[in-house]
Structure 1
Amino acid sequence: MNLDEYYKTTREEKLIFQIPEHMEDHLTSATRLLEKIQEFSEIEQALETKKEDFEMRMEHLQQRRAELERKESQLKESLEKFNKILQENIVKKNHAIKKANNERDFKKTKDKDIARLQTECENLKQVFNRKKKRHDSYMILVSFLMKVLTKTDEFNEIRDIIKRYDALSSTYNDLVEMDTKTQKHIEYIRHSDTRNTEEKHNEILGYNNQLSVLQLEIKKQVRNALHWESKWNHIQNTATKEALTLGRIKIVTLNLVNVIKGYKGQAPTDDTTTLQQLNYIKIFGEDLSKTVQSILNGEQDETAGTMSVEAKKKTQPK
């Protein structure tokens, strides 16, 4: 609430009052005016008093506000100083933690170096002990070689004995290597001979199987030849029979020619004479006989070759 509002409110409160009813008739307008003037002066005095009181309160509030602003400023400064100190403490803390971590890592590194050096020291001790043992064993050999020199005139120094030993060792190693190579070569030859024997045996079995198949085919062809030859003889024996028999012979001859042509993969025909057909059958029989004879001759040659190969193998030294 400001000063004008306060003044208006107070004035309204002073102006609102009740005049007794029995005195309203006796009051004159001048009296009423005096009363109004007195009321206005009282109101003004009261307002002045209120105004002074209000101004004092406002001044007091201004002072309190200034004091609060001053304290707030001081509090902000204190807070900024505290934050600055806190940040410095955090930086110092981080630096201390980093330094401690570095020192810890440095200590771990040094501990590892110490452990490594201790391990190396132990290894060097072991190497020294091995070298010492070897040296002691060599000293035994040196004393032995000195005794050998004193008992023989073949060597003048220990170095000569060592050279002789190296030469003998080299010769022995060469002989061992040569023997190993010889044994490997012998083993290779043995395996090669075994493999070749198996291959030849498999080839012989294959040839025997082919020979069996050819023999069966020859027997089949011979049976067919005998069969057709029997029919041909029967046709010749019955050539003087009646015309019906002759017709049957022609039919059989034609059928036989067609069978032969079917065997040869040719199309059957009936535009030839019976004589031509018989000649055709005869030529086929002769060709078939020659084929059978050549097959038999080839079989005999293969059998003779196989027997000669087996005879050579038996005569060769193992």
Structure 2
Amino acid sequence: MTSSIEDYFRANVENKLFIKVPEQEDHDLTPATRLLEKRREMLEVENGLNQQKEEFAMKMEALKQRSEELARKETQLKESLLKFDKFLKENDAKRNRAIKKAIDERKTRDQKELEIQDLKKQSVQQSVKKDKSGHAVDTYLTYQKFLESVLETTEEFGEVKDIISRFDTLAATNQELIDRAREAQDRTERDRAMLINSTEEKNNLILNYNNDIAKLQTRLEEAQMRSAKCQLEWDQTLKNATSKTLELGQIKMATNNLFSIVKTHLNSKLAMTSDTVIQLDKIQQFMIDLNSISAELTQGQVGVVGGKNSD
């Protein structure tokens, strides 16, 4: 702020000091005159400067007063705002209390209305009970008159309570009979249900047995077929075995005969045996020896014939 004021005064002084006088007039004036002129200009500048200082001081004072006024008004405004805020808070608190009070009163009123409705219902119920009681009293009076008339016409009962006691006994007996009949009916129903269930179970069991019998019959037929097939195979095997046995017997007899012939040719040098394999070995050895002898004889005869021919 101070720097701005100094710049302002400096600019005004420079404007005042640098006022140029025409050159022609400067040549016509003497130095004393020019000095006086400069002093006059300086006085004018100082007067203008003082006047501007006074104006500036007045403006500063006015600004100061304005600033103080604004500060005072700001303070007043803050106080007013605080008071208004306090007023709003108090007003909100009062409004909340009023709303809460209204809600409580509404709840109380609703509760009272519910109580009134309950009391009205109870009153209606009591009225209905009263009417029913009145009708019951009228009915009981009719019954009482009837029972009193019964006492007048019979000597079996001495008082009304005797008739009521007899009625209670008969009613209890009747209820007992009804209960027994109901129990008997329940037992009958249970027995019937058990019989039905048992019949169904037996039928299911018979059906299962029939299915098992059918399966076993099928298995029996299959087993019989397999047995017949096995019997045929056994008969064929037995037939083949018999044929093989007969053939084996014939082979053994032929082998034994050949062995006897070989033994005869060897002048009983062979030991007697019944083992067919040994007999075949001996026969084979005999045949080999016989073939060797036959070959030697054939070669000897060929040599003799050749010698005769050469002679």
- Judge same fold: TM > 0.5, yes or no: yes
Cα distance change on mapping 1:68 and 1:210 into 2, 3 Å: closer
Aligned residue among 166, 169, 176 for 2:168:
166
* Matching residue of 2:76: 74
* Matching residue of 2:144: 142
Is residue 2:117 matched to residue 1:121?
A: no
* Matching residue of 2:243: 247
Distance apart, 1:144 and its partner CA: 0.7
* Matching residue of 1:184: 186
Distance apart, 1:213 and its partner CA: 4.8
Q: Which moved more, 1:127-136 or 1:78-87?
A: 78-87
Q: Deviations over 1:28-84 (max 9, x none)?
A: 444333332232222222222222222222222222222232233223323322332
Is residue 2:213 matched to residue 1:217?
A: no
CA distance in 2, matches of 1:70, 1:170: 106
Query: Given that residues 151 and 157 in structure 2 are in contact (C-alpha distance below 8 angstroms), is that contact kept between their aligned partners in structure 1?
Result: yes
Q: Which moved more, 1:143-152 or 1:194-203?
A: 194-203
Structure 1 stretches of 5 or more lacking a match?
A: 252-318
Cα distance change on mapping 1:201 and 1:23 into 2, 3 Å: closer
Letter of the structure 2 residue corresponding to residue 98 of structure 1: K
C-alpha RMSD of matched pairs (Å): 3.8
* Matching residue of 2:34: 32
Letter of the structure 2 residue corresponding to residue 247 of structure 1: S
CA distance in 1, matches of 2:159, 2:116: 49
Bigger radius of gyration among the two? 2
Q: Deviations over 1:239-280 (max 9, x none)?
A: 9xxxx99527889xxxxxxxxxxxxxxxxxxxxxxxxxxxxx
Is residue 2:44 matched to residue 1:48?
A: no
Distance apart, 1:23 and its partner CA: 3.5
SS at match of 1:46: helix
CA distance in 2, matches of 1:203, 1:87: 94
CA distance in 1, matches of 2:44, 2:218: 165
Distance apart, 1:177 and its partner CA: 1.9
Cα distance change on mapping 1:82 and 1:190 into 2, 3 Å: closer
Cα distance change on mapping 1:55 and 1:166 into 2, 3 Å: same
SS at match of 1:22: helix
* Matching residue of 1:58: 60
Is residue 2:18 matched to residue 1:16?
A: yes
Aligned length: 243
Query: Given that residues 7 and 47 in structure 1 are in contact (C-alpha distance below 8 angstroms), is that contact kept between their aligned partners in structure 2?
Result: yes
Query: Given that residues 13 and 45 in structure 2 are in contact (C-alpha distance below 8 angstroms), is that contact kept between their aligned partners in structure 1?
Result: yes
CA distance in 1, matches of 2:147, 2:183: 35
* Matching residue of 1:112: 114
* Matching residue of 1:99: 101
Query: Given that residues 235 and 249 in structure 1 are in contact (C-alpha distance below 8 angstroms), is that contact kept between their aligned partners in structure 2?
Result: no
Query: Given that residues 11 and 43 in structure 1 are in contact (C-alpha distance below 8 angstroms), is that contact kept between their aligned partners in structure 2?
Result: yes
Letter of the structure 2 residue corresponding to residue 35 of structure 1: E
Q: Which moved more, 1:191-200 or 1:148-157?
A: 191-200
Letter of the structure 1 residue corresponding to residue 117 of structure 2: A
Distance apart, 1:171 and its partner CA: 1.4
SS at match of 1:5: helix
CA distance in 1, matches of 2:135, 2:149: 21
Letter of the structure 2 residue corresponding to residue 210 of structure 1: I
SS at match of 2:27: coil
Q: Which moved more, 1:42-51 or 1:116-125?
A: 42-51
Q: Which moved more, 1:136-145 or 1:190-199?
A: 190-199
Query: Given that residues 149 and 157 in structure 1 are in contact (C-alpha distance below 8 angstroms), is that contact kept between their aligned partners in structure 2?
Result: yes
CA distance in 1, matches of 2:198, 2:44: 153
Q: Which moved more, 1:212-221 or 1:75-84?
A: 212-221
Q: Deviations over 1:283-310 (max 9, x none)?
A: xxxxxxxxxxxxxxxxxxxxxxxxxxxx
Cα distance change on mapping 1:207 and 1:250 into 2, 3 Å: farther
CA distance in 1, matches of 2:53, 2:243: 170
Structure 2 stretches of 5 or more lacking a match?
A: 248-311
Distance apart, 1:85 and its partner CA: 2.3
Letter of the structure 1 residue corresponding to residue 132 of structure 2: R
Q: State TM-score, norm by structure 2.
A: 0.64
Q: Which moved more, 1:219-228 or 1:146-155?
A: 219-228
